[in-house]
Amino acid sequence: MKDIASIAPLHYTHAGLAEPHANESPVVLLHGMLGMGRNLGALARSLAHAYSVFSVDLLNHGGSPRTSAMDFSLLADTVVSLLTDLGIPKVHFVGHSLGGKVAMAIALKYPERTDKCIIADIAPVAYEPEHNDLFAVLSAIDLSQFSQRAELQAYLSDKLNEAAVIQLVLQNLERSPTGWQWRMHLPAIIASYDALRGSITLPDQGQPASCPCLFLSGGRSPYWQPEYQARANALFSAASFSTIVDAGHWLHIEQAERFNGEVARFLSASDH
């Protein structure tokens, strides 16, 4: 695994307050696999009146640096390294899916850098390799064969049956002087997949995180099951749980207003 010192800072965008309110931490948003910081743009805009908000592209995603492989420890290290570069001592983390696992890893490895944590529709457990079919489709694509974005969209629509996943993939498509290319570093994501679908565990000699942590799930999502609560409680001593009933895994899109409201309420509460 690459040494953190040799990796350039992660790409990010900033919204909201130039400086946080007194005694208030900035908010850092962490996206899911194959995504980028702007995936949580609606949430960033909803928080911008009250917080300093940083939307980060995780390693090997979006505009961030590329490595040959990654695991949760490296992903956590690169996010914290960015915060150090920005002179930010402590933040609230909001992470969806893979970003939620990265947020958990940071809270456990760097408790002093974590104020509150909101984990959107993911648990600290190992998941089945359900992305293998998607990776096979993406790996077989020769982007030079497509002249228009609509052509690739039609191709993906024939191969994949989830519109949200197709849109997630298409946002990674960008023009270069030599033609289409992916923003994500697909080989590294595939090479790291077994690690990224794995469980979150305590670091060596680590203790459960004591920060307030909300596990916010979609009621129709397969990514959260009732039995996962015990594992979350074992890692986060101040865990709480909430469900947006009429939402699936993409709860921040399907029920954006309710999702944004739950996040804002948790961040502003002083009694957690």
Report long-range pairs for 202-209 (Cβ below 8 Å, ≥24 apart): 202/108, 202/235, 203/108, 203/109, 206/108, 206/109, 207/111, 208/108, 208/234, 208/235, 208/236, 208/237, 209/104, 209/107, 209/108, 209/111, 209/114, 209/117, 209/235, 209/236, 209/237, 209/238
Write down the catalytic residue from 64, 97, 192, 221.
97
Smallest Cα–Cα separation from 254: which of 216, 227, 215, 213? 216
**Are 16 and 50 found together in one domain?**
yes
**Are 214 and 251 found together in one domain?**
yes
**Are 143 and 90 found together in one domain?**
no
**Under a CB-based contact definition with an 8 Å cutoff, are residues 141 and 247 in contact?**
no
**Under a CB-based contact definition with an 8 Å cutoff, are residues 61 and 184 in contact?**
yes
| Residue 31 pLDDT exceeds 50 | yes
**Are 234 and 169 found together in one domain?**
no
pTM: 0.97
Residue 202 is classified by DSSP as P
**Are 96 and 28 found together in one domain?**
yes
Outline where 160-207 has alpha helix (H): 163-170, 186-191, 193-196
| Residue 272 pLDDT exceeds 60 | no
| Residue 138 pLDDT exceeds 60 | yes
Identify the pLDDT of residue 256.
97
Q: Which of 129-133, 179-183, 202-206, 266-270 has the lowest mean pLDDT?
A: 202-206
Q: Each residue of 197-246: pLDDT tens digit?
A: 999 999 888 899 999 999 999 999 999 999 999 999 999 999 999 999 99
**Under a CB-based contact definition with an 8 Å cutoff, are residues 259 and 251 in contact?**
yes
Domain that holds residue 17: 4-127+199-268
| Residue 271 pLDDT exceeds 70 | no
Region 114-124 average pLDDT: 98
Region 189-204 average pLDDT: 96
Identify the pLDDT of residue 204.
84
**Residue that is last in its domain, among 150, 171, 190:** 190
Identify the pLDDT of residue 95.
98
Q: What is the mean pLDDT of the chain?
A: 95
**Are 116 and 27 found together in one domain?**
yes
**Residue that is last in its domain, among 146, 173, 190:** 190
Spatial CB neighbours of 55, under 8 Å, sequence gap ≥ 6: 12, 13, 14, 15, 29, 31, 37, 38, 40, 41, 44
**Are 152 and 75 found together in one domain?**
no
**Are 30 and 112 found together in one domain?**
yes
Is 270 annotated as catalytic?
A: no
Q: Give backbone dihedrals phi and psi of 24, rounded to 5 degrees, phi first.
A: -125, 135
Residue 193 tokens, joined: 């997949």
**Are 111 and 242 found together in one domain?**
yes
Written as one letter, the residue type at 168 is L
Instruction: Report CA Rg, the chain.
Output: 18
**Under a CB-based contact definition with an 8 Å cutoff, are residues 74 and 1 in contact?**
yes
**Are 250 and 120 found together in one domain?**
yes
Give the CATH number, domain containing residue 54: 3.40.50.1820
Identify the pLDDT of residue 1.
63
**Cα separation, 188 vs 176, whole angstroms:** 20
**Are 120 and 142 found together in one domain?**
no
**Cα separation, 168 vs 182, whole angstroms:** 12
- Residue 112 neighbours by CB distance under 10 Å: 8
**Are 208 and 110 found together in one domain?**
yes
Count structural domains, the chain. Answer: 2
Q: Each residue of 59-100: pLDDT tens digit?
A: 999 999 999 999 999 999 999 999 999 999 999 999 999 999
